[in-house]
């Protein structure tokens, strides 16, 4: 009987570990809108890590150590003979996954932080043009229903602050001060930061609070700032669906996700002359190098503008 119980506990451990990977993949679909090929690659990469950990008698993500992960990366780097781009993707998948676990409270420390990755060219993030963003906002503003007013407020806030989707859905009424045009949000690792809100976003959120939220509200004790038609806190899937619908209505052909709006926010700020440090603080990036990727986009933009306008161009 004891052997049977232990076998069941071992099975539950394996199930738990891969279940968390599946939850992470669902999050990638909703937050970043990744392609099916990329998602399948991430799934294969993380399941491979999971199988390795199980071979090391590790059946809980919270007990994974830096030494164990280093042992795995040494194997894929030296013994498996993967290409550098494949190794970089596998390590990126590991880092993203453990950041997700930390954000979700599944682990208390991130053992993947010290893992090094091969130095290869960094892919620039996708973003909307200023014209596409304006088109999206104008389309959203036309819907005067309770949910339409809420959706417009969500869009204005995402573009005005560059919030992550998790930060957005976790906002409570007490976190937003429309009088001072500031919001308090909790980023990765439960780090708190104060972000200023543009006046257009303040207007949209004020309208939502005064006219839309009271119509949607069913439970007067609900603390969530953004709620659905049942008066409950929105989910990642709700936000993703809202943006997908707005993109379709706006006839914008590229997929629009909260992450793309975050990239658009950062890129447009830098093009307008904001400092990298300022943008870093607003985005909640722990490392400046994460923010500096946007400078490559703005530099490319300036180079093209220079070549186009130069008299010898």
Active site residues: 164, 188, 259, 262, 285, 294
Which two three-digit tokens encode residue 82?
């993967």
Tokens standing for residue 103:
């954000």
Owner of token pair 């991130």: 110
Grouping H, G, I as helix, E, B as strand and the rest as coil, residue 186 is strand
Full DSSP string of 297-312: HHHHHHHHHHHHHSTT
264: Cβ contacts below 8 Å, ≥ 6 apart: 127, 128, 133, 159
* Phi, psi (rounded to 5 degrees) for 34: -70, 155
Rounded Cα–Cα distance for residues 183 and 173 (Å): 10
- 46 Cβ neighbours under 8 A, 6+ residues apart: 21, 24, 93, 94, 97
Do strands 192-196 and 182-186 pair parallel, antiparallel, or not at all (unpaired)? antiparallel
């Amino acid at each position: 009987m004891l052997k049977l119980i232990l076998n069941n506990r071992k099975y539950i451990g394996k199930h738990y570990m891969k279940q968390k990977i599946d939850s992470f993949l669902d999050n990638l679909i909703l937050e970043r809108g990744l392609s099916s090929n990329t998602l399948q690659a991430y799934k294969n990469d993380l399941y491979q890590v999971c199988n390795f950990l199980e071979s090391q008698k590790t059946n809980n993500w919270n007990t994974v150590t830096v030494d164990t992960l280093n042992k795995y990366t040494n194997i894929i780097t030296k013994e498996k003979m993967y290409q550098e781009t494949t190794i970089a993707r596998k390590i990126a998948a590991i880092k993203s996954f453990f950041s997700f676990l930390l954000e979700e409270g599944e682990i208390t420390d991130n053992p993947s932080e010290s893992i090094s990755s091969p130095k290869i060219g960094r892919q620039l993030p996708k973003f909307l043009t200023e014209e596409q963003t304006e088109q999206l906002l104008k389309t959203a503003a036309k819907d005067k229903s309770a949910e339409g007013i809420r959706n417009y407020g969500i869009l204005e806030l995402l573009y005005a602050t560059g919030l992550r989707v998790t930060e957005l859905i976790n906002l409570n009424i007490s976190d937003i001060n429309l009088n001072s045009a500031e919001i308090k949000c909790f980023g990765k690792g439960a780090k708190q930061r104060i972000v200023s809100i543009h006046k257009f976003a303040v207007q949209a959120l004020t309208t939502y609070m005064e006219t839309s939220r009271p119509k949607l509200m069913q439970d007067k004790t609900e603390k969530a700032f953004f709620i659905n038609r049942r008066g409950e806190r929105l989910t990642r899937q709700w936000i993703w669906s809202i943006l997908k619908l707005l993109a379709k209505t706006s006839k914008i052909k590229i997929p629009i996700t909260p992450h793309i709006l975050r990239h658009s926010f950062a890129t447009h700020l830098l093009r307008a002359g904001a400092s990298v440090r300022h943008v870093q603080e607003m985005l909640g990036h722990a490392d400046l190098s994460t923010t500096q990727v946007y400078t490559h986009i703005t530099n490319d933009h300036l180079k093209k503008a220079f070549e186009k306008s130069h008299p010898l161009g």
